[in-house]
Amino acid sequence: MRRLLTLLIVMASPAQAGTKATYVRPDGGSTIIEVADNGDARIGPSDGADFGLLVNGRFYMVETGRGQTTVIRMEDIAAAAGLLLPPGLSKGLKSASASAPARTDLEADGSATVAGRPGRRYRMKGADQPDRLVASDDPSLRPVGAAMEGIAVASAAAMASMFGKEAATDLLLHIRDMFSRGTPLRTFDGWVLTSVQKADIRQDRVSLPAAPLSFPEARRHLQEARTAKSDR
């Protein structure tokens, strides 16, 4: 009787269909992207406490440690660096994924298969380099690509103080160009998809763990982080 009751409860519970994608980075580490059935996603290194969240098409960086959790909006990271996000991104990554780039530095270069997934291959125009971007337009992978784009944009904006606003803006436009082709299966800088599998992703894994900082708070937090890093 107890077994029957347990079975009935399981059958009555809604199934949580999600996706887990794993990429190997050039440094040998792995980055995991978890996508819930509603399209919200979490991205971060398998061994790291800091991660990114894609919630309702908006991207957030989450920092944990020292007994506190800090959540910062991607657009506030860019604004704190004095950058304007490429067209579409300011309205959310879901709308940006369907928009054409303002310019392109890429040209088609055949096709390739990565981790059993077919994709189109691209190369940089006029560049004499062996590296190629491989991107997939599979709709099931779009949330994976949106999470990757979010962390790429946030990282580029956060590094603006290192390589200058003009270079950072060029990098953001290149990122927009690259992700408009689809979800990367292999990137120019060596991220390679190794697996995509179905997984039960709990909603708390892709929910904001705290309220995002206001823009003044985010700007102050980022400035303090840069100062602490430069003092090391």
Which residue, chain included where needed, has tokens 């399209």?
39
Per residue of the chain (232 residues), what is the pLDDT tens digit? 444 433 333 344 444 579 999 999 999 999 999 999 999 999 998 767 899 999 998 999 999 977 889 999 999 998 888 887 776 665 566 555 556 666 688 999 999 999 999 999 999 987 777 789 999 999 989 999 999 999 998 888 888 877 788 888 888 888 888 998 999 999 999 999 999 999 999 999 999 999 999 999 999 998 888 777 666 6
Q: Are 76 and 213 within 8 A, CB to CB?
A: yes
pLDDT at res. 7? 39
Please give the DSSP secondary-structure letter assigned to residue 140.
Answer: G
What are the residue boundaries of the structural domains of the chain, listed by start? 14-101+141-181+188-216
pLDDT at res. 57? 87
Please give the DSSP secondary-structure letter assigned to residue 189.
Answer: T
pLDDT at res. 221? 92
User: What is the distance between the alpha carbons of residues 232 and 227, in angstroms, rounded to a whole number?
Assistant: 9
User: What is the distance between the alpha carbons of residues 51 and 104, in angstroms, rounded to a whole number?
Assistant: 29
Collapsing DSSP to helix, strand or coil, 36 comes out as coil
Hey, how many other C-beta atoms are within 10 angstroms of the C-beta on 202? 11
pLDDT at res. 6? 39
Nearest to 108 by CA among 93, 122, 89: 122
Q: Are 167 and 88 within 8 A, CB to CB?
A: no
Hey, how many other C-beta atoms are within 10 angstroms of the C-beta on 199? 16
